[in-house]
Amino acid sequence: MINYNPKEWFTFIFRLHKADTFRQLIPMLFSISIYVGIVAYLEIEFFQLGDDSHLKNITIMHGMLGFVISLLLVFRTNTAYERWWEGRKLFGSLTNNSRNLAIKLSAILPVENGTLRKEFRQLIIEYTFALKRHLRGHQRNSENFSSEITVAEGSHKPNHIAFLLFKKVHQLHEDKILSGEQLLFLNNELSSFTEICGACERIKNTPIPFSYSVFIKKFIFFYVMTLPFGYVFTLGYLSIPIVVFVFYVLASLELIAEEIENPFGIDANDLPLNQICKNIQKNIQDIL
């Protein structure tokens, strides 16, 4: 995720960064400028269409369709941002619940039992990093511990760690270290790990419906491809930069929505999961 100062907006106009859609669209912008130039040349120089041509009325259609496409793109970007923000809220809940569980365990567990505290500390921290790696589609060894929590290839590591947490707490209850009331006292935080994981998986595994995404792309393409046929009559060769700019705006909105609809990846605008996990690690180490 890119950190920036929103008050320095003037510098954004002249600075290109890795998340800028202009870089991704350069080949398409170049191709469309050539296409519009060819259409303008044919209409002006070759066919020499006059003011009596019916093609000039195509701008009326563009005026009506422009309102429709703006509504579609607003809905598209809002839906993608809601998914991004929900993902951020879920990892915020993971941070709070991890802290709460650590605070409760710190108050309940005997201070002299450093081994038990260390085991819980490792499990809680490892769960956050395991969830991050699970959402990004890989389960390599943790980058944080020398004593690894290993699972079989293809297994659900966050579920395994949640099971180990439940098992250890239940064993403490069996050993009379935790009372029944204390077991219930810890249950909400323990259950929240799996609930947060399931909610994150729902976002990751349920993209925007394919037909909706394809329709918007086709709509943008045909809308832009037909723009020069009408605007050449009034703008001439100036229609080249104008049509290219219209395509840049519409396509950029679609690209931004595609990038943020899965907030758990490694793109420039995705959530800073590495930093969130390291913050949780620091907090849990301080508490336990």
Give the model's pLDDT for residue 146: 41
The average pLDDT across 97-112 equals 90
Give the model's pLDDT for residue 54: 55
Least confident of 67-71, 89-93, 96-100: 67-71
Give the model's pLDDT for residue 48: 61
Cα 225 from chain centroid (whole Å): 30
Tell me the backbone φ, ψ of residue 270, rounded to 5 degrees.
-75, 170
Q: Is the pLDDT of residue 47 over 90?
A: no
Integer Cα distance of 199 and 89 in angstroms: 11
Q: Is the pLDDT of residue 112 over 90?
A: no
Q: Is the pLDDT of residue 177 over 50?
A: yes
The average pLDDT across 54-64 equals 69
Write the CB contacts of 56 (distance below 8 Å, at least 6 apart in sequence).
230, 233, 234
Residue whose C-alpha is closest to residue 74's, from 226, 221, 216: 216
Least confident of 27-36, 82-91, 109-118, 248-257: 109-118
Q: Is the pLDDT of residue 86 over 90?
A: yes
The residue that leads in pLDDT, 66 or 145, is 66
Q: Is the pLDDT of residue 27 over 60?
A: yes
The residue that leads in pLDDT, 36 or 23, is 36
Integer Cα distance of 264 and 270 in angstroms: 6
State the chain's maximal CA–CA distance in angstroms: 94
Integer Cα distance of 72 and 137 in angstroms: 31
Q: Which pTM value belongs to this model?
A: 0.84
Residue 8: pLDDT band (50, 70, 90) is: low
* Domain boundaries along the sequence of the chain: 84-206+273-287
- Mean pLDDT, the chain, rounded, equals 85
What are the structure tokens assigned to 280, written together? 């949780």
Q: Is the pLDDT of residue 198 over 90?
A: yes
Q: Burial letters for 216-230: b for 16+ Cβ neighbours within 10 Å, e otherwise?
A: beebbeebbebbbbb
**In the chain, % of residues over pLDDT 70:** 84
Integer Cα distance of 91 and 148 in angstroms: 23
